[in-house]
Structure 1
Amino acid sequence: MDTSETTDSSIPPRSEGGPDPAPAARRGWRRWAMDTRPLRIPAYRRLWSSTVVTAVGSQLTAVAVPKQIYDITGSSAWVGYASLAGLVPMVVFALWGGAVADTVDRRKLLLITNSGIAVTSLLFWVQAVTRLESVAVLMVLLALQQAFFGLNSPARNASIARLVPEEELPAANALSSTVMQTGLVAGPLLAGALIPVIGLPELYLIDAVALCVTLWAVLRLPPLPPLTEAVTRRAGVREIVAGFRYISGHKVLLLSFLADIIAMVFGMPRALFPQLAAQTYAPYGEGLALGLLFAAIPIGAVLGGLFSGTFSRARRHGWMVIGAVTAWGAAVAGFGASRNLWIAAAFLAVAGVADMVSMVFRGAILLSAATDEMRGRMQGVFTVVVAGGPRLADVLHGTAGSAFGPRAAVAGGGLLVMALMLGLAAAVPALRRYRI
């Protein structure tokens, strides 16, 4: 880690006579409870609190947009087209946004992009309350929103390393990831409960108001300008290419991305949930089965975050990623072999815990192994991988499920994840050796 970062005024000063004193050992259940040390730092607490507010609000819009498109068209195909309309600009602007985040004050970039997302949510509300009922307008607004998100995410994630000490990065990632996963569970449930009561337009308005709270929190962050002369560079194609070249030259970064691709592309079975709910778990009730399957992974991830106290203090980050991805594969394989709905949901919840561990340590590796002038671009690539992997998995699992049956496709994918991850770890020692 670049030692110049420790001079950032938002991080508590270290003692000059030697290393930081070790924190008091936590005993009993406190050892397992979430590590909240980063919340003692005001700047990180503000960034995290903005995530708390928007985690649920953003999911209201994520539910409202496809619901409105389906209400207008009566076609699930149009819902899929809208998803693609949002994916493409998100990918493009995440890569560019990562380069921008490395050349400007990240706090200013967060203010601009959060303002853009808030205005977009307000426009969603306007088109809904005026009953415009235009799919084209919805898709344009969705593309614009995802473009702002692509610009925002790398800057937000890259800022964490400037706000907390290196040894607290896993704990900070656990805090942020747990909030986001909680939003994935609570947001859709809240949207489902509110739509019959207040209607779609108000969901958009709630999201817009929540984003205003986010702007207030970001406004109170300290300035986060580049630490080097990177400020004189322009964020263009050359800088994006330089980011990929940097990844290829640092094996631990490349392996962290490959680990996520392996886990998500070959082991994310969500495309087969509807078929499994309608066939394998039909005796339990198709609606119950489908809801439980979709909720199990994020519920497991939230539980993993709440009890992350022990693993967030681990120092062998590489081994934690290897173990987590392997455990994910094993849990997915167990899910594929299960005919009992409750056992299947339990396996998916275990997979969610493993996914949380993987997210925490892959995020920590990206923040600690990269220099500050490259962190934005690393987070841009990370955003693309996280968003694109599950979508590729949908295509792969859907095809395999049609060819071999859903349970065989799921179990086979889980076993393939285990084999590929262990093979990669054995062949390339850089990830095994990485620690802080």
Structure 2
Amino acid sequence: MALSGVDNIARLPELKKKLLWTFLLLAVYRIGIHIPVPGVDSSALADFFESVSNTLFGLFDMFSGGGLRNLSIFALGIMPYISASIIIQLLTVVSPELKRLSNEEGAQGRKKITQYTRYGTVLITLVQGFGIAVGLESMSSPTGASVVLHAGWAFRGITILTLTAGTIFLMWLGEQMTDRGIGNGISMIIFAGIVAKLPSAIFNTVRLMKAGEISLFILLLVAAVMIAILAFIVYMERGQRRIPIHYAKRMMGRKMFGGQTTHLPLRINTAGVIPPIFASSILMFPATLATFSNVEWLKKVSSYFTPDSIIYNIVFIALIIFFCYFYTAIMFDPKGISENIQKQGGFIPGIRPGVKTREYIDKVLTRITLWGAFYVAAICVIPILLIKQFNVPFYFGGTALLIVVGVAMDFMGKIESYLISRQYEGLMGKGSKLKGRH
């Protein structure tokens, strides 16, 4: 059945073109990861990252797809853009002007907000680029070799310019992928960065086992836990609460319309992979400044925010829960949905149309979002703590697994929807009901 689904893709030139665009743009991103910033000793930088691989740098490197370890032109990854998006979305809630652009101006308003997000990305990248340039000048490998060959303002200027240009190009690449390819371009870039590191992560784990640092029992236990987590993620990502909706019969001309029963699906995790990405980027931004700074109190504060610390995980969980509710509120409008149901002559059994329907949908959504937030927080935090206890590389974190599974399901779901819309069988055959996240 799966092979017939692949044959269906071959029959659609437009879908093949979209897939080709997606893979070509991802290939451009992966090539750029290996282009280094001028003026850096690559071997000294590699030795330095080897010595701090199990610290917060591991998280930075994961989101940049290995670009930070190489100090490539894409070293900052797409995180500045995500940070700018967070700031703009938070300001949309409190700023009447941004709220008006978002709600009333339609496509033009969204275009304006996107423009503000781009400006914010450039500003954040300039600040982070300067912090990295200054921080690199004070760094050295465990052998004492300086990471920067020729320190000074010339190096700082080149580094800031290169990293800013790289992030802007990466932002453009993600937008092109969204427009011309399949899936969300920003999510696909993060997905590609994580998956590209998988072979080396597996190799390092096997190497640790052969060296006797990890026992075979612990390795099998961790593998079993990861498989169980993957299955749990798939189960929860497809989980939904279905609210029944009845449509009354009505005459239009000589024809009878309505009378059928359908449902309104509410996902347990409406926000998808956005909350852990947003939460991680917020924790990473101040920690980046502190890590590259020589100020003693900043370094002390940074020491409390390592991924295995209690404070880090408490703040991480709180931010995940907040963003689960925040992003769900942005993506899902109970008032608009209740009005549409009422206009179409529909109603929820036992609930009066209008305000009561809106309140009921909002109440149900609030309840399931709480469980969705707990699920996302548990997936992101518990594996980190368990794996840290067993001394397994930090890479195998719940956040990475959630992003990989979520983006993969979204990608497959969009292909599935595209095939079905063209009256072909789904990718996995007739019984497939894989749904993408929109």
What TM-score, normalized to structure 2? 0.29
Relative to the length of structure 1, the TM-score reads 0.29
Determine which structure has the larger strand proportion and give its number. 2
- State the structure with more CA Rg: 2
